[in-house]
Structure 1
Amino acid sequence: MMRIEGAIGPASTSYLGDGLAEARNSDARLVIIAMDTPGGLDTSMREIIRDILAMDIPVVTYVHPSGARAASAGTYILYASHFAAMTPGTNLGAATPIQIGAPTAPEQSPDEEEEDGEPQPASVSDRKAVNDAVAYIRSLAEMRGRNADWAEEAVRGAASLSANAALEQNVIDIVAEDVGSLLEQLDGRTVVVAGEEIELRTQGLVLREFETTWVTQVLATITNPNIALLLLMIGVYGLMFEFLNPGALVPGTVGAISLLIGLYALAALPVDFAGIALIVLGIGLMVAEAFAPSFGVLGIGGVAAFVFGTTIMLDTDVPEFQLDRSFIAALGVFSAVLVIFVARAGIASFRHRIVTGAEELIGASAKVMDWQGGKGHVFVHSERWNARGPDNLAAGDEVVVTKMKGLEMTVATHNALEGRTDG
């Protein structure tokens, strides 16, 4: 027995795939999938259905406990199973692709309706999505001998049914109060599995629950879009701080690990490549601001690109797999604060006196060692330099360095500089 609770995504696919493989390896007589889901990702749903259809062991999908539902993707999985069962007080249906059934869709005009009165999606792409979903669920219904017309209505009209109504309309096979009652009602029933007709003997079967592994738990955590994006940002900022402070090691190590895990999580989710490109561009501009300060121009552009990219990053309308707007705002504010800090540091650096290199010698005091005809040598910072300047200098005079050209400096007396300033 396995359990699906919550939205169907990469973690659900991994868990059910491992459980079905374990059932085959342990020669199980039956597989029960207890389900309570609002729906999920189309790619994950289809992968789960492929695994169920490939099973040579009967699979029972059981909407359980009371109050649970098998909406959207859950309805498809229910139709794909060898037996479909529900607990009283549960429901199934509303299998319309979410982007088609969204309340923002324009109202249909009378000439856009089919002859039987069912409304048609407004755009060509929406009609393609609905027709594809209808064909898919009808094929599953025909394979299992269930009500294909109601399955189509669940897609086109987002129809739903209670447990007893579903049993009456041949959508499910069993209504059972609990797992014990389910096994009792399954006993003696026949089903075609892998081309062979099998009579179930469920009396006295020992029920073993397949527990979620730590790998699946980790996958469920990191495939949360908010966690995936957070890992991506930790990775980028960690590497950035490592490059700014070579040898720190900790930021670089944590950043590299976080970045790889974040990229793996995003690869498992239905991402929009335009959104990913904007995020990469935004991060690149913010990093460029840190290494080549532009007084905030690059950084502000990076924050704008990053925030807009995150809003369109995921190509799905399933609420459980969308980024939280407040989380996006928090990351945007943090990035903006970082950009402001870097920009202020860049502006402040122009006010600081240069303390390294040849430019640091400009304005330094020097002592004349020897002088003749406007040329000679001066002693500055414990070094002897070639110099040129006024003709009237003599050994021991105090001068100021005013210019550097190659290995020769130009000097002037303090009085001359003061006079130039006063003028």
Structure 2
Amino acid sequence: MRRLLLYCFLLIVSPGALYAQKVLSIKLDATINPATADFIHRAIDIAQKERSSCLLIHLNTPGGLLKSTRVIVGDILESPVPIIVYVSPGGAHAGSAGVFITMAAHIAAMAPGTNIGAAHPVTTQGEMDTIMSAKATNDAMAFIRSIAAKRGRNAEWGAQAVSNSVSLTESEALQNNVINLIASNEQELLNSIDGKSIPVSTGTVVLHTKNATVTTLDMGWGEKMLNILSDPNVAYILFMLGLYGLIFELYSPGAIFPGIIGGISIILALYTMHTLPVNYAGLALIVFGVILFLLEIKIVSHGLLAIGGVISLLLGSLMLIRTDETWAMASLSLSVIITAVAVSSLFFLFVISMGIKAQRAKPAIGLEAMVGEIGQSLSELNPVGTVRMHGEIWKAISSTGLIPEGKKVVVTGFLNLTLQVEPYIEPSV
């Protein structure tokens, strides 16, 4: 009877206490991209369904895409479950997009030896013009001010992090009201926040985390794959492999394998590029460069087409990612670009040189292969007779007059199936 009364009392006074001993924890040690945004969205849904006291996000990121950051921040602000962002472990960094995610959390914490900041919008290749830079910076500043106002955090520092790329250590972040607390480990953090009242989208929730059981949620294999594919360098490499695979299949119908690999690579690359700010002029230049390489194989241009292909491929690669919609980490590595251009150029030059060599090589089969070969006359050639070549008897005609039987002859040409021969002269020593 007492247990029943206690149960009813807890149900009326604090329904959350019935689910007090459960915390869902995820680790986000990656760039911010569509895959990580989907992962956090899924974690919030699971935490809500399992009635977890809160969702704990271990954060360590250098930054990522603005679009994905906005999606994550929106999910956190609208979450019915308290979100705890913990910049950890020691040495971790909440940079660029990580600043927005940390400041959007219901409770923000950092481990000793971590830092936060440097949220200025950056370009992926080169420099933005003044107008575009001002637009991107002002937009990001307004975004972080709105987040800070929502959570009661230091909006001025957030604006400085965007406009001047300033950073703070964990102690400085606590002093400047950027985070709520510093915790050496996960258990210390959960003990510190126990009993706090957290306003969420559905009301106010009291945290019961002191003796909570922490359940870890990992990325699914699909999310891990998409996380890898979200790297612009991977997308670029897949696109180049896809182009070459399809080209080899077209030039060697029936090979099958290059076509399959090329098709899969192109599809994966296009999926990734769909999530990135792709410059289609750069994409067109890359395709045009490959076409020029192929034309060099078919048309004798003395290297002009190949040079044009190298220039087009290089410029297209540098232009592939637009510079006005991304943040840090959404860029193509210059070393990857140079390597891809160099390998492509060397490969096509190798193919071109082998083609020229094949054109100049002596035929190995057929009547053409007989020219220059040495045989023996089986009858008198005056001027027509027969000769033995490679164990075969051929009809032959002498192009220099009478050739006696049993003499060595050399083939100088052919007419239909009749060999043209002349006496073989032994080379002098």
TM-score, reference length from structure 2: 0.73
Cα deviation, residue 352, structure 1: 7.3
Q: Which has the higher contact order (CA 8 A, sep 6+)?
A: 2
Q: Does 1:22 pair with 2:23?
A: no
Once residues 30 and 21 of structure 1 are traced to their aligned partners in structure 2, the CA distance between those partners, rounded to angstroms, is 11
- Relative to structure 1, the CA distance from residue 84 to residue 270 in structure 2 (aligned partners, 3 Å threshold; closer, same or farther) is same
Cα deviation, residue 165, structure 1: 2.5
How do 1:337-348 and structure 2 match up within 5 A?
337-344=346-353, 347=356
Gaps of 5+ in 2: 1-24, 372-412, 421-429
Aligned position for 1:43: 67
Cα deviation, residue 313, structure 1: 1.5
- Relative to structure 1, the CA distance from residue 272 to residue 234 in structure 2 (aligned partners, 3 Å threshold; closer, same or farther) is same
Aligned position for 1:383: none
Cα deviation, residue 283, structure 1: 2.2
Once residues 63 and 274 of structure 1 are traced to their aligned partners in structure 2, the CA distance between those partners, rounded to angstroms, is 39
Aligned position for 1:154: 161
Once residues 101 and 87 of structure 2 are traced to their aligned partners in structure 1, the CA distance between those partners, rounded to angstroms, is 11
- Relative to structure 1, the CA distance from residue 328 to residue 155 in structure 2 (aligned partners, 3 Å threshold; closer, same or farther) is closer
Q: Secondary structure at the match of 1:286?
A: helix
- Relative to structure 1, the CA distance from residue 268 to residue 168 in structure 2 (aligned partners, 3 Å threshold; closer, same or farther) is same
Percent identity of paired positions between Structure 1 and Structure 2:
37
**Equivalent residue in structure 1 for 2:228, among 208, 216, 221:** 221
Q: Secondary structure at the match of 1:98?
A: coil
Cα deviation, residue 291, structure 1: 5.3
Any conservation in 1 of the 2:110–2:170 contact (CA below 8 Å)?
A: yes
Any conservation in 2 of the 1:293–1:346 contact (CA below 8 Å)?
A: no
Cα deviation, residue 320, structure 1: 3.6
Of 339-348 and 19-28, deviating more is 339-348
Once residues 315 and 122 of structure 1 are traced to their aligned partners in structure 2, the CA distance between those partners, rounded to angstroms, is 13
Q: Does 1:324 pair with 2:333?
A: yes
Of 45-54 and 11-20, deviating more is 11-20
Cα deviation, residue 345, structure 1: 5.0
Once residues 96 and 214 of structure 1 are traced to their aligned partners in structure 2, the CA distance between those partners, rounded to angstroms, is 32
Q: Does 1:76 pair with 2:83?
A: no
Q: Secondary structure at the match of 2:108?
A: strand
Aligned position for 1:314: 321
Any conservation in 2 of the 1:293–1:342 contact (CA below 8 Å)?
A: no
Aligned position for 1:333: 342
Q: Secondary structure at the match of 1:201?
A: coil
Any conservation in 2 of the 1:190–1:200 contact (CA below 8 Å)?
A: yes
Cα deviation, residue 52, structure 1: 1.5
Aligned position for 1:258: 265
Q: Secondary structure at the match of 1:70?
A: strand
Aligned position for 2:76: 52
Q: Does 1:167 pair with 2:191?
A: no
**Equivalent residue in structure 1 for 2:134, among 118, 127, 135:** 127
Once residues 131 and 196 of structure 1 are traced to their aligned partners in structure 2, the CA distance between those partners, rounded to angstroms, is 32
Instruction: Please tell me the residue identity of whatever aligns with 2:344.
Output: S
Once residues 216 and 340 of structure 2 are traced to their aligned partners in structure 1, the CA distance between those partners, rounded to angstroms, is 40
Aligned position for 2:22: none
Cα deviation, residue 243, structure 1: 1.6
Once residues 235 and 164 of structure 1 are traced to their aligned partners in structure 2, the CA distance between those partners, rounded to angstroms, is 49
- Relative to structure 1, the CA distance from residue 196 to residue 2 in structure 2 (aligned partners, 3 Å threshold; closer, same or farther) is same
Any conservation in 2 of the 1:37–1:68 contact (CA below 8 Å)?
A: yes
Any conservation in 2 of the 1:295–1:343 contact (CA below 8 Å)?
A: no
Any conservation in 1 of the 2:65–2:328 contact (CA below 8 Å)?
A: no
Aligned position for 1:268: 275
Any conservation in 1 of the 2:83–2:106 contact (CA below 8 Å)?
A: yes
TM-score, reference length from structure 1: 0.74
- Number of aligned pairs? 352
Aligned position for 1:395: none
Any conservation in 2 of the 1:58–1:82 contact (CA below 8 Å)?
A: yes
Give the superposed CA RMSD: 3.4
Instruction: Please tell me the residue identity of whatever aligns with 1:67.
Output: G
Aligned position for 1:368: none
- Relative to structure 1, the CA distance from residue 287 to residue 28 in structure 2 (aligned partners, 3 Å threshold; closer, same or farther) is farther
Q: Does 1:238 pair with 2:245?
A: yes
Q: Does 1:209 pair with 2:216?
A: yes
Q: Secondary structure at the match of 1:177?
A: coil
Once residues 291 and 352 of structure 1 are traced to their aligned partners in structure 2, the CA distance between those partners, rounded to angstroms, is 18
Cα deviation, residue 354, structure 1: 10
Any conservation in 1 of the 2:233–2:332 contact (CA below 8 Å)?
A: yes
Once residues 290 and 235 of structure 1 are traced to their aligned partners in structure 2, the CA distance between those partners, rounded to angstroms, is 20
Gaps of 5+ in 1: 106-120, 364-399, 403-408, 415-423
Residues 217-244 of structure 1: per-residue CA shift (max 9 Å, x gap):
2122223333222222222112211122
Cα deviation, residue 39, structure 1: 1.7
Any conservation in 1 of the 2:57–2:83 contact (CA below 8 Å)?
A: yes
Of 230-239 and 265-274, deviating more is 265-274
**Equivalent residue in structure 2 for 1:13, among 28, 37, 47:** 37
Instruction: Please tell me the residue identity of whatever aligns with 1:165.
Output: E
Instruction: Please tell me the residue identity of whatever aligns with 2:130.
Output: S
Any conservation in 2 of the 1:236–1:259 contact (CA below 8 Å)?
A: yes
Any conservation in 1 of the 2:66–2:327 contact (CA below 8 Å)?
A: no
